[in-house]
A and B are shown apart, each in its own frame.
Chain A
């Protein structure tokens, strides 16, 4: 029975679809932590992206402008996060938790305030699925890779672009240098704070895109706390992926697979759905404990940089 499930192209299509809202924030976290800022605020920033994506889409009647709106608000939230953690040097984990509680409250508050208690309108435009000519016709591969939501393809491009940026450009090298040894980077004339702002804000934009995908790509509406821990799972995916874009994608695919599998098994009705839904969370812990081994974080990750010290 199990092998039969694995032969279903829908399972693999769902794996990719469910990996996307994990891969984007994991990628975002990679940018932030490579620059030396621990970012557990991805959960909250996803919610901000998800809500303001829907709001902007409703206002402008365009899913694309909605996506833009969600990303901009994610960037604004990250800018505030960066200001408090980088410029003021506050505890990054605590502020991140603050962002998460704030964002969960703010988005639910605004949902009730703006849309009332009935939720967001069903007429909200949503981001389209794309049929890649040729590829979508191929059996098995077609349904998996050829006809996904547009954000899935953006995510795949973002992974490649991030890898190139971080490991093959000058700016990427500087960003990583700041996360490893800010004193040396500072001596070499790199502006540590600017690089960290850059890392956190790119990270926030990617995370909020993950949120936009949840609300405008998958569901077409905003629900309170709809990120349901994905920001934290993404954090695990990033660690599992050893702070690299391709590693994050690989880990996100693994978690995406467990989510897709749990969705699939729910249909079979043999096991309680509640038990199956534990799967991604349990796998996250297993990944952190057994499969990763010790992964080494950027050396200056989590330490505020204060010059002259």
Chain B
């Protein structure tokens, strides 16, 4: 229990400091921070409808956040979750509209399996092998693959094979049998929530209760040590990126089958990038990811109503996210400040004694 509380301390302090900085920005730009934060809060949690939508947008964040966390645990900084999300989305939508005559559960399962495998290969084959065989930086390769996936998605719906007949750049709607049913009608919240929660359990079990997970973590915490212990390091690097990609692809699939039901022409979903922040805030803990995904989902849905009600641009929430990463990475700031403070106190007491 004590350990859990201590684990929560740094994220909480970071969030609080970031929110205070956000307040100062609003004051400096002539807005009422209390009104803005109140709008943000009620936009995120104020009604069943808002709350459902917040939880709904936490689902892709939980899944892609898990993906980033698995990569992190194995020492692979996969910042290309955005692209893997799109690959998963494309595969799921394609199965969703082109395969006909399957019973619902089977259709959804087929779409999900294909989406996760496609996204896993997208991350595992090129960035994974490039890292394992050539030592290419994962940060760059996953980011580049992300841009390629985004353009692939645009191609597919603008003039590629997935474009619906007509002039609107979008794909056909998926079959009814491929739609994940809604948990609460007329909101975005679907049964995908339980897929996300199940994924949390599976990832926890995988990372901490299996040999595979132990080896992944060993490669992440001490690559050289893992090598001397006889672990096939390149293999586990590829596997880490593969698993990481499957989770981001699952995020795309659940979002498509549960919420969007077709592919639109858009440049980013934003989920893949926020996933990085989600994983960092949770310190890569699978259960922590649920909380941190909810937090960032609330910022996103609440940010919209903040903009409507108080006129503060919604991007302020991105500023807050950036500051949070900064503070989390700089967690060593706390001991430094404490040490300086203590030295200061010691000097003061010494002077007092003299």
Which 10 residue pairs are nearest across A and B when measured between Cβ atoms? A102-B322, A105-B318, A98-B325, A274-B155, A112-B313, A288-B136, A109-B315, A105-B319, A101-B322, A94-B329
B277, CB-defined interface residue at 8 Å: yes
Query: Contacts of B280 on A, CB cut-off 8 Å?
Result: 94
B2, CB-defined interface residue at 8 Å: no
Cβ contact of B318, chosen from A40, A109, A272, A290, cutoff 8 A? A109
Q: Are B126 and A285 in contact (CB under 8 A)?
A: yes
Query: Contacts of A239 on B, CB cut-off 8 Å?
Result: 137, 140
Main secondary structure of the interface of B (DSSP, over half): helix
The closest CB in chain A to the CB of B324 belongs to: A98
Q: How far is the CA of A261 from the CA of B313 in the complex (A)?
A: 37
B141, CB-defined interface residue at 8 Å: yes
Cβ contact of B315, chosen from A89, A112, A275, cutoff 8 A? A112
Q: Are A105 and B321 in contact (CB under 8 A)?
A: yes
A299, CB-defined interface residue at 8 Å: no
The closest CB in chain B to the CB of A108 belongs to: B315
Query: Contacts of B126 on A, CB cut-off 8 Å?
Result: 285
Q: Are A113 and B313 in contact (CB under 8 A)?
A: yes
B7, CB-defined interface residue at 8 Å: no
Query: Contacts of A284 on B, CB cut-off 8 Å?
Result: 140, 144
How many residues of chain B are within 8 Å of chain A by beta carbon? 49
7 contacts between A and B (CB under 8 A): A99-B322, A102-B323, A108-B318, A229-B147, A281-B144, A285-B140, A285-B144
Q: Are A288 and B332 in contact (CB under 8 A)?
A: no
Query: Contacts of A218 on B, CB cut-off 8 Å?
Result: none
B326, CB-defined interface residue at 8 Å: yes
Query: Please, what's the 1-or-0 string for A62-86, where 1 marks a CB less than 8 Å from any CB in chain B?
Result: 0000000000000000000000100
The closest CB in chain B to the CB of A95 belongs to: B329
Q: How far is the CA of A88 from the CA of B136 in the complex (A)?
A: 28
A90, CB-defined interface residue at 8 Å: yes
Query: Contacts of A93 on B, CB cut-off 8 Å?
Result: 77, 139
Query: Contacts of B316 on A, CB cut-off 8 Å?
Result: 105, 109
B135, CB-defined interface residue at 8 Å: yes
A236, CB-defined interface residue at 8 Å: yes
Cβ of B330 to closest chain A Cβ, rounded Å: 4
Q: Are A101 and B151 in contact (CB under 8 A)?
A: no
Query: Contacts of A233 on B, CB cut-off 8 Å?
Result: 144
A91, CB-defined interface residue at 8 Å: yes
Q: How far is the CA of A133 from the CA of B238 in the complex (A)?
A: 55
Which A residues between 130 and 164 are near B, CB-CB below 8 angstroms?
none
Residue from A99, A232, A235 with most neighbouring chain B CB atoms (10 Å): A232
Q: Are A288 and B140 in contact (CB under 8 A)?
A: yes
Cβ of A36 to closest chain B Cβ, rounded Å: 16
Which A residues between 225 and 247 are near B, CB-CB below 8 angstroms?
228-229, 232-233, 235-236, 239
Q: Are B277 and A101 in contact (CB under 8 A)?
A: yes
Query: Contacts of A84 on B, CB cut-off 8 Å?
Result: 326, 329-330, 333
Q: Are B141 and A285 in contact (CB under 8 A)?
A: yes
Q: Are B130 and A289 in contact (CB under 8 A)?
A: yes
Q: Are A272 and B326 in contact (CB under 8 A)?
A: no
Cβ of B52 to closest chain A Cβ, rounded Å: 26
The closest CB in chain B to the CB of A80 belongs to: B326
Q: Are A232 and B143 in contact (CB under 8 A)?
A: yes
B134, CB-defined interface residue at 8 Å: yes
Cβ of B198 to closest chain A Cβ, rounded Å: 29
Query: Contacts of B135 on A, CB cut-off 8 Å?
Result: 294
Cβ contact of B325, chosen from A101, A113, A232, cutoff 8 A? A101
Cβ contact of B319, chosen from A100, A106, A289, cutoff 8 A? A106
Q: How far is the CA of A282 from the CA of B158 in the complex (A)?
A: 21
Binding site for A on B (CB under 8 A): 29, 77, 79, 126, 130, 133-137, 139-141, 143-145, 147-148, 151-152, 154-155, 158-160, 273, 276-277, 280, 313, 315-326, 328-333, 336
Check A288/B318 contact, CB under 8 A, given A232-B143, A272-B159: no
Q: How far is the CA of A294 from the CA of B47 in the complex (A)?
A: 56
Query: Contacts of A94 on B, CB cut-off 8 Å?
Result: 280, 325, 328-329
Q: How far is the CA of A103 from the CA of B329 in the complex (A)?
A: 16
Check A108/B313 contact, CB under 8 A, given A97-B79, A272-B160: yes
Query: Contacts of A272 on B, CB cut-off 8 Å?
Result: 155, 158-160
Q: Are B144 and A282 in contact (CB under 8 A)?
A: yes
Cβ of B288 to closest chain A Cβ, rounded Å: 16
Q: Are B273 and A278 in contact (CB under 8 A)?
A: no
Q: Are A102 and B329 in contact (CB under 8 A)?
A: no
Q: Are B147 and A278 in contact (CB under 8 A)?
A: yes
Q: How far is the CA of A113 from the CA of B280 in the complex (A)?
A: 29
Query: Contacts of B29 on A, CB cut-off 8 Å?
Result: 113
Q: How far is the CA of A282 from the CA of B315 in the complex (A)?
A: 30
Q: How far is the CA of A23 from the CA of B273 in the complex (A)?
A: 25
A104, CB-defined interface residue at 8 Å: yes
With A229-B143, A229-B147, A274-B158 known, 16 other A-B pairs at CB within 8 A are A90-B329, A98-B329, A101-B273, A101-B321, A102-B318, A105-B316, A233-B144, A272-B158, A272-B159, A274-B152, A281-B151, A282-B144, A284-B140, A288-B134, A289-B130, A290-B134
Q: Are B136 and A102 in contact (CB under 8 A)?
A: no
Cβ of A87 to closest chain B Cβ, rounded Å: 8
The closest CB in chain B to the CB of A304 belongs to: B332
Q: How far is the CA of A23 from the CA of B106 in the complex (A)?
A: 51
Q: How far is the CA of A105 from the CA of B143 in the complex (A)?
A: 18
Q: Are B148 and A282 in contact (CB under 8 A)?
A: yes
A266, CB-defined interface residue at 8 Å: no
Q: How far is the CA of A108 from the CA of B323 in the complex (A)?
A: 15
Cβ contact of B152, chosen from A108, A109, A278, A285, cutoff 8 A? A278
A181, CB-defined interface residue at 8 Å: no
Q: Are B151 and A277 in contact (CB under 8 A)?
A: yes
Q: Are B151 and A278 in contact (CB under 8 A)?
A: yes
Q: Are A98 and B326 in contact (CB under 8 A)?
A: yes
Check A101/B318 contact, CB under 8 A, given A90-B332, A232-B143: yes
Q: Are B313 and A109 in contact (CB under 8 A)?
A: yes
